[in-house]
Amino acid sequence: MWSYYLVRGLGYALSLLPFSFWYALSRFFAVLLEKPLRYRQQVINKNLDIAFPQASKSQRKRWRQGFYRHFTHILFETLKSLSISRQRMQRRMTLENREILEKLHRQGKGVMLVMGHQGNFEWVAMSMPLLVPQKCYAVYHPLKSTAFNRLIVHIRQRFGLTLFPMKHTYPFMLENPDPKPLYIFMADQAPHKGRIRYRAPFFGVETPVHLGVENLAQRCDLAVVFIDVFRKRPGHYRIVPRLLYEQVEDLPRYTVTKAHVNALENLIRQDPPNWLWSHNRWKNV
């Protein structure tokens, strides 16, 4: 118990330091991760080679360097999440096309909001209750460390997001009495090798994908909306929702899955450095 309050108190104190300090420090850490530490560099290089085989080595190197800067920004922005105010968060997260989500809310339609690890995905989930009329929910994978798990849950739920553990996803969503919920799903993680049920084209590679978005959207009668996330400048992001399907119950099998995988690929191609290239996405191809 004491370890949680120690970590939270120390983190809060550090989070009070200005953004300018953390962004200056992030430049140093980005170089540190890339050069002497070579943090997951083998995975990053492999992923960039798979996704952009026609790109030159110098171009892939620039994207890798951009990724390290992006990654350290996320780390320090997440730390700032402990003390950032509602008003400041709203100023930093711009939601475009909000009429899409407002219309679905007026219609009484629940939403499956699908995204990848693009931009500051932590801030997107955390800030969504400040930007939309729906009550927002998100699945999370509990950490082994009790103290850090409580800290992450505290950060993510500061502005009204409701979290539920990954292992309870189906019972929670199927039994949720909220008539028009908004569920935030990260849809670019690799399924465990023994749980691969489908592969979709992703950067020209038949890639194992989770089917949870499609299955739950159909079982819970949810509209499927994909969101593009772009960094405008350090600490400021554009969130752009795009309606993929308002009704999914009669769609052919795998239509929803292929659509959101394709939407993610198109987004990454527009802004390569700001995806989570350190994740071993093609480990089971």
Count of domains for the chain: 1
| pLDDT tens track for 74-107 | 999 999 999 999 999 999 999 999 999 999 999 9
Query: How confident is residue 32, by pLDDT bands cut at 50, 70 and 90?
Result: very high
> Quick one: which H or E segment has residue 265?
helix 255-270
Whole-number percent of the chain with pLDDT over 90: 92
Is pLDDT of 264 > 90? yes
> Within a domain: residue 162?
yes
Is pLDDT of 23 > 90? yes
Mean pLDDT (the chain, rounded): 96
| Residues 131 and 184: beta-carbon distance below 8 Å | no
State the pLDDT at residue 78. Answer: 94
2-6, 67-71, 262-266: least confident range: 2-6
Query: How confident is residue 194, by pLDDT bands cut at 50, 70 and 90?
Result: confident
> Within a domain: residue 190?
yes
> Within a domain: residue 283?
no
State the pLDDT at residue 3. Answer: 84
Q: What is the mean pLDDT of residues 264-281?
A: 96
Whether the CA torsion 187, 208, 280, 230 is positive or negative: it is: negative
> Within a domain: residue 281?
no
Find the domain containing 62 and state its range: 2-274
